[in-house]
Chains A and B, each alone.
Chain A
């Protein structure tokens, strides 16, 4: 697989270039679209595809910072609870008379706070894996959401708010525009800035990075806070999509998000991956589900397909590696 540029800078080879996971993903993406189009005449319609992206993109926002977390070799499974808590707080303060704009800012603040707490705990308690810390805060954050709303739904948002998730600008959904905006920002941050290079470095070798004078703790805290912020952006769009919220919204989002990141070619062992792959994976899974839904495949078959696809995505590079090693061994023996 492709290695980050900081560490190994190999000479350009066109074969190697086109064998990158991102290109394979693109091919799968095209194949999925051909398959979908051949099964249903309703698939290749601009409005339908735009509408579909409107529906599945809300969790896509969390995918960017989650990619950073996984590149660093950590994981954050509290995101769905952060979504729930920040949206519940937003609805509650709005219903208590706070103007909508301010309520949205508070929502972002709550998300940032949740992420910040995760980040601080992760760097202060290095003995504990991030999965344990975020597992605990996952229960805690959702528990607080339940305390606030008591299992009721809250809504009554102003009419314009629903436009965020349901409105179009020249036939393009607003949510898609916002998504592309964040996709560009995160791609630049990860691949073109020092910050991004540090993230890769931490994933490759945490201790060496620390010794080379980079403040690893700060970077980790920033990244976990980013996860919280993007989760609250997801919360805003999700609340707009339903024009209300409940303490049990977004349950299971963390697993969907992790699946997208991994399918996008981010290595769960840390240190590897490209943002473009992750973005492709978001649309790949979204359109695959939409296409299967259009021909009314049962939902249980759809989850089986996504499960297998996920395993396959991580298995292929490993199988490749194994065969390579096997060949090397044979060459040595010869």
Chain B
């Protein structure tokens, strides 16, 4: 009899746990999904790489703004860890819900193909934004900025900072990050094509987008190349780590840092001179443009084919352009952040 009582107790514990969860769920659902009363309301989903990334939060915010402005419903999801496995789980959940479109910032170029094909088979429009997936897995891609422009402009910035001669190094994210690798290729091209006989790219190192690893790699660079003049870090984690190391070691003015960084993270180092200036696009706009592209695909305004045009709210009109064999929509040129404008941007994202 006692045992029965214990079990009942235990069971009610479990139940109360679920009841607790239910309450949470309901709240979250209210917060995350805002349903509208429109007749032909569409449901558009955005999947980012992982949670807890302010850059991704801003992209999702821009996406939501665009979707809700047109009276549709936005679902914003991101796995806890930046893995393909978890993104596949989320894609499947969205197929189960029967959403109209999925915009995804991929954790891998190829590995999402079967899952995204399954989504397209289920009649869902699929596009990638920011970090691309391969052409077979998507209808089009939202490119945040021209990779050629990013690569070239960063080398030009570095050369200007060091006064035209000296050693430079690159601190990247992981060695298989497709974005970063493409930019680094263009950096090398710019170095070959331009008139930079006195500039030497000594090494490309990888901080894996981890704080501690990026710091250790920066310190190792400084040890290995005492004459190093400039570090280009085309990744938000790496550039902040490099800025921190240069500041802590009192090397401001001797070793320059530039690359791609979040204004909020880099404000400190732009103001103290460790990083004279850097570049980035506006993630809010990336999300916003993805939202309008997704709606245009669902409305049938575009099919993702070359030469399609559509209007993206406050951003104006866009055209689908070529990306090798596939197609993409280009947001624009990267934006330059410098001491004169960092104050107004650091609170934005």
A touching B, CB within 8 angstroms: yes
Cβ contacts A17-59/B at 8 Å (1 or 0 each): 0010000100110011001000110110100100110111000
Are B111 and A305 neighbours in the complex by a CB distance under 8 Å?
no
B146 is an interface residue with CB less than 8 A from chain A: no
Are B176 and A153 neighbours in the complex by a CB distance under 8 Å?
yes
Of A107-115, A193-201, A242-250, the one with at least 4 CB within 8 A of chain B? A242-250
- Decide: A299 near B33, CB < 8 A? Known: A42-B98, A56-B89, A150-B175: no
Are A298 and B11 neighbours in the complex by a CB distance under 8 Å?
no
Chain B contacts for A296, CB-based, 8 A: 28-29, 32-33, 75, 77, 93, 97
Are A242 and B114 neighbours in the complex by a CB distance under 8 Å?
yes
Within 8 A of B (CB), among A289-328: 289-290, 292-303, 305, 308-309, 312, 316, 319-320, 323-324, 327
Q: Which of A28, A52, A152 contacts B176 (CB 8 A)?
A: A152
Q: Which of B24, B93, B108, B109 contacts A293 (CB 8 A)?
A: B93
Chain B contacts for A319, CB-based, 8 A: 6, 10
Chain B interface size, under 10 / 10 to 19 / 20 to 34 / 35 or more? 35 or more
B95 is an interface residue with CB less than 8 A from chain A: yes
**What are 23 A-B contacts with C-beta separation under 8 Å?**
A24-B7, A24-B10, A28-B14, A31-B15, A31-B18, A42-B98, A151-B176, A153-B110, A241-B115, A243-B110, A244-B110, A249-B85, A250-B85, A289-B89, A293-B92, A294-B97, A297-B28, A298-B32, A299-B51, A303-B80, A316-B10, A323-B2, A323-B6
Is the contact region of chain B dominated by helix, strand, or loop, or is it mixed?
helix
What 7 additional pairs, Cβ within 8 angstroms, besides A249-B84, A320-B7?
A: A32-B18, A40-B97, A52-B92, A153-B108, A153-B111, A243-B111, A301-B28
A99 is an interface residue with CB less than 8 A from chain B: no
User: How many of chain A's residues have a CB under 8 angstroms from any CB in B?
Assistant: 65
A162 is an interface residue with CB less than 8 A from chain B: yes
Chain A contacts for B118, CB-based, 8 A: 51, 166
Are B111 and A19 neighbours in the complex by a CB distance under 8 Å?
no
Which partner residue on chain B sits nearest A298 by CB separation? B28
Are A242 and B84 neighbours in the complex by a CB distance under 8 Å?
yes
Are B176 and A312 neighbours in the complex by a CB distance under 8 Å?
no
B274 is an interface residue with CB less than 8 A from chain A: no
Q: Which of B7, B17, B29 contacts A19 (CB 8 A)?
A: B7
- Decide: A312 near B17, CB < 8 A? Known: A51-B95, A243-B113: yes
Cβ contacts B66-109/A at 8 Å (1 or 0 each): 00000000010111110111101110110111100000000011
A6 is an interface residue with CB less than 8 A from chain B: no
Within 8 A of B (CB), among A156-215: 162, 165-166
Chain B contacts for A334, CB-based, 8 A: none
Bound together, the chains give a CA A324 to CA B29 distance in angstroms of: 42
Which partner residue on chain B sits nearest A320 by CB separation? B6
- Decide: A241 near B2, CB < 8 A? Known: A40-B97, A246-B111, A292-B25: no
Are B96 and A51 neighbours in the complex by a CB distance under 8 Å?
yes
Are B79 and A299 neighbours in the complex by a CB distance under 8 Å?
yes
Interface set of A (CB-CB < 8 Å, partner B) = 15-16, 19, 24, 27-28, 31-32, 35, 39-40, 42-43, 45, 48, 51-52, 54-56, 150-153, 155, 162, 165-166, 238, 240-246, 248-252, 289-290, 292-303, 305, 308-309, 312, 316, 319-320, 323-324, 327
Chain B contacts for A290, CB-based, 8 A: 92-93, 96
Which partner residue on chain B sits nearest A250 by CB separation? B85
B237 nearest CB across to chain A (Å) = 16
Which partner residue on chain B sits nearest A18 by CB separation? B7
Q: Which of A45, A153, A292, A294 contacts B109 (CB 8 A)?
A: A153
Are A295 and B25 neighbours in the complex by a CB distance under 8 Å?
yes
B112 is an interface residue with CB less than 8 A from chain A: yes
Are B175 and A151 neighbours in the complex by a CB distance under 8 Å?
yes
Which partner residue on chain B sits nearest A321 by CB separation? B6
Is the contact region of chain A dominated by helix, strand, or loop, or is it mixed?
helix
Which partner residue on chain A sits nearest B176 by CB separation? A151
Are B96 and A45 neighbours in the complex by a CB distance under 8 Å?
yes
Are A51 and B112 neighbours in the complex by a CB distance under 8 Å?
no
Chain B contacts for A312, CB-based, 8 A: 13-14, 17
Are B93 and A294 neighbours in the complex by a CB distance under 8 Å?
yes
- Decide: A244 near B108, CB < 8 A? Known: A294-B93, A294-B97, A305-B21: yes
Which partner residue on chain B sits nearest A309 by CB separation? B17
Are B96 and A299 neighbours in the complex by a CB distance under 8 Å?
no
Within 8 A of A (CB), among B209-242: none
Q: Rank and list the top 10 A-B pairs by shortest CB-CB distance, nearest first.
A: A293-B93, A242-B111, A48-B96, A316-B10, A299-B80, A151-B175, A151-B176, A244-B110, A55-B92, A244-B111
Are A327 and B2 neighbours in the complex by a CB distance under 8 Å?
yes
Bound together, the chains give a CA A301 to CA B79 distance in angstroms of: 11
Chain B contacts for A56, CB-based, 8 A: 89
A278 nearest CB across to chain B (Å) = 18
Bound together, the chains give a CA A299 to CA B52 distance in angstroms of: 11
A289 nearest CB across to chain B (Å) = 7
Q: Which of B14, B29, B108 contacts A295 (CB 8 A)?
A: B29
A189 nearest CB across to chain B (Å) = 29
Q: Which of B93, B98, B174 contacts A151 (CB 8 A)?
A: B174
Chain B contacts for A28, CB-based, 8 A: 14
Cβ contacts B273-286/A at 8 Å (1 or 0 each): 00000000000000
Are A252 and B25 neighbours in the complex by a CB distance under 8 Å?
no
Are A162 and B25 neighbours in the complex by a CB distance under 8 Å?
no
Are A299 and B78 neighbours in the complex by a CB distance under 8 Å?
yes
Are A15 and B88 neighbours in the complex by a CB distance under 8 Å?
no
Are A242 and B88 neighbours in the complex by a CB distance under 8 Å?
yes
Bound together, the chains give a CA A32 to CA B3 distance in angstroms of: 24
